[in-house]
Amino acid sequence: MAQRRHHYERAFEEYLRARRIPYVAVDEARKALLPEGAAFRHAGESLKSFDFVVYGDGLNLLVDIKGRKVIRRRTASPTSAGRLETWVTSEDVGSLQLWQGLFGSQFQAAFVFVYWCDEQPPDALFDEVFEFRGRWYVLRAVRLTDYIANMRTRSVRWKTVHVPTAQFERISQPLAEAPDRVLTVGQSAPGVGDVEGADPAS
């Protein structure tokens, strides 16, 4: 398993392995640069890397993991999910958009929000609930194009954006069905899923 800095990425990788969803984990230690003279050149700056390439049936995902902690208020209803943060940085959006263009039509970029819950969430609230090393997580995936179409400025100072709750509930979906149910649990691909530290730009 690739060495990942945050438990959110480790939990997500175990989620993929447990469900035998083919993937490649991107090596975060390598700083990827745009090709010299590329049409997608970004003022000569390096691109912020994403986290995983997840392989689907006819379409593949470039996944940027966003880990968020969910704390449900003690006074909340037992069926309340708690507040689900949906913010990312403007750099996250811009870099992922450029990666999608570089990879081409067979790849689609997506944010996967991995929510760490302080206790097991009610099953009825989420399609994908799993436990990893004593912690409970839920997943929501959203296509980059849908995120961009619905995002709002969150902080000018910190250069962050977010999607309001109502819109996020509408455009996000379980990972196993994103996008358009292209990921098939149990599907296998030779040499995929156990590749560590791969550089998708190579």
| pLDDT tens string 131-186 | 999 899 999 999 999 999 999 999 999 999 999 999 999 999 888 755 444 333 33
Higher pLDDT: 66 or 187? It is 66
Under 8 Å between Cβ of 68 and 74: no
SS3 for 144? helix
Summarised one tens digit per residue, pLDDT across range 11-54 is 999 999 988 889 999 875 554 555 555 555 554 456 788 999 99
Does residue 65 have a pLDDT over 70? yes
Q: Is 188 left (phi over 0), alpha (psi -120 to 50) or beta?
A: beta
According to DSSP H, which parts of the chain are helical?
Answer: 7-18, 90-103, 144-150, 165-171
For the chain, count helices (H), then strands (E). Answer: 4, 9
Share of the chain above pLDDT 70, in %: 66
By the 8 A CB rule, do 183 and 177 touch? yes
Residue 127 is predicted with a pLDDT of: 73
**Range from 76-80, 82-86, 115-119 that averages highest in pLDDT:** 115-119
Q: Using an 8 Å Cβ cutoff, are 144 and 93 in contact?
A: yes
pLDDT of residue 54: 93
Q: Is the peptide bond before 179 cis (omega within 30 degrees of 0)?
A: yes
| CA dist., res. 184 & res. 88, Å (int) | 27
Q: In order of start, what are the domains of the chain with their CATH numbers?
A: 16-177 (3.40.1350.10)
Between CA 52 and CA 24 the distance in angstroms is 6
Is the predicted pLDDT of residue 201 greater than 60, yes or no?
A: no
Q: Which of 97, 95, 53 has its CA nearest to residue 200?
A: 53
Q: What is the mean pLDDT of the chain?
A: 77
Name residues whose C-beta falls within 8 Å of residue 155's C-beta, 6 or more positions apart in sequence.
none
Predicted confidence at residue 45, as pLDDT, reads 56
Q: Give the pLDDT of residue 56.
A: 82
How far from 8 is each of 49, 68, 131, CA to CA, in Å? 16, 8, 12
